[in-house]
Amino acid sequence: MKLNKTVLITGANRGIGRAIACRLASEGYDLALHCRSNIGELESVAQSIEKEFGIKASLLQFDVSDRVGTKAALEKYLSEFGAPYGVVCNAGVTADNSFPAMLGEEWDGVINTNLGSFYNVLHPLVMPMVSSRKPGRIVTMSSVSGVMGNRGQVNYSASKAGVIGATKALALELAKRNITVNCVAPGLIETDMVSEDVVENALKVIPAQRMGKPEEVAATVSFLLSEGAAYITRQVISVNGGMI
């Protein structure tokens, strides 16, 4: 069943973003899928979605930490397709190090990608969404690390805590416009982002005693995008097996 609603997902070529794309396609959303570098991988996600669900996604490629390039790519998208119904700000990176050893580039890279992208991606999209005068949805991706802090991730925790603050503030600004803004905070999820050496220790603090699956994060994002979630805004939903 086609919904005639488009959702733009950043970082959709792999990991959690790819799982979100597949889940939303299975529910009949039209999709705009984004990646930074691996356009071949993104094309194969789009092909499998088209084959399985008959959804032809449009593809976007830009670095979310590059404000000028992101704006240009999104304005081009908007001029062709108009404002999307939903945006999922999923793209993110880590550059872990103990704080005394942390390089300036590790701080800047993570802050500019994970938090800078909130402005870079959403600023060009929000006014067109408001002007469309239709209900809308924004979902951002934080982390358990942004909720409670995590050693070796001072940069990442700061960026993901910043995403929570920005999400809650934007939710206040857009609530009257029927656009909800919520944040998903995953725990430890099986993707390329998680290196094997952290898993053993991390499992000790996960009551569910396992890592989460990208599909389990995608299910929460899908719920927040649904019509049934129209009265949920300014919230942080954790998907973490009971970690906090």
Q: Site for ligand NDP (CB under 6 A): which residue of 7, 73, 83, 92?
A: 92
Q: In which order are the strands placed within the sheet that holds 30-35?
A: 58-61, 30-35, 6-9, 86-89, 136-141, 179-186, 236-239
Which of these segments, 14-22, 23-31, 47-55, 228-236, binds ligand NDP (CB under 6 A)? 14-22
Point out the catalytic residue in the list 85, 119, 156, 231.
156
Six-digit token string for 59: 């593809």
Nearer to ligand NDP among residue 97 and residue 130 (C-beta) = 97
Q: Does residue 191 belong to the site contacting ligand NDP (CB under 6 A)?
A: yes
Q: How far is the CB of 131 from ligand NDP (least distance, A)?
A: 26
Q: How many CA atoms lie within 13 A of 148 on its CB side?
A: 10
Q: Site for ligand NDP (CB under 6 A): which residue of 80, 192, 196, 227?
A: 192
User: Sign of dihedral through CA atoms 203, 204, 207, 209?
Assistant: positive
Q: How far is the CB of 22 from ligand NDP (least distance, A)?
A: 13
Nearer to ligand NDP among residue 49 and residue 64 (C-beta) = 64
Nearer to ligand NDP among residue 20 and residue 174 (C-beta) = 20
Q: Does residue 241 belong to the site contacting ligand NDP (CB under 6 A)?
A: no
Q: Is 156 a catalytic residue?
A: yes
Q: How far is the CB of 163 from ligand NDP (least distance, A)?
A: 8
Sequence letter at residue 60? L
Q: In terms of C-beta density within 10 A (0-12 exposed, 13-18 middle, 19 or more buried), how is residue 15 classed?
A: buried
Q: Does residue 17 belong to the site contacting ligand NDP (CB under 6 A)?
A: yes
Which of these segments, 171-179, 192-200, 201-209, 224-232, binds ligand NDP (CB under 6 A)? 192-200
Distance in angstroms (rounded) separating the CA atoms of residues 195 and 207 = 20
Q: Does residue 116 belong to the site contacting ligand NDP (CB under 6 A)?
A: no
Q: Site for ligand NDP (CB under 6 A): which residue of 6, 90, 155, 220?
A: 90
Active site residues: 156
Which residues make up the interface to ligand NDP (CB under 6 A)?
11, 13-17, 35-38, 63-65, 90-93, 113, 141, 143, 186, 188-189, 191-194
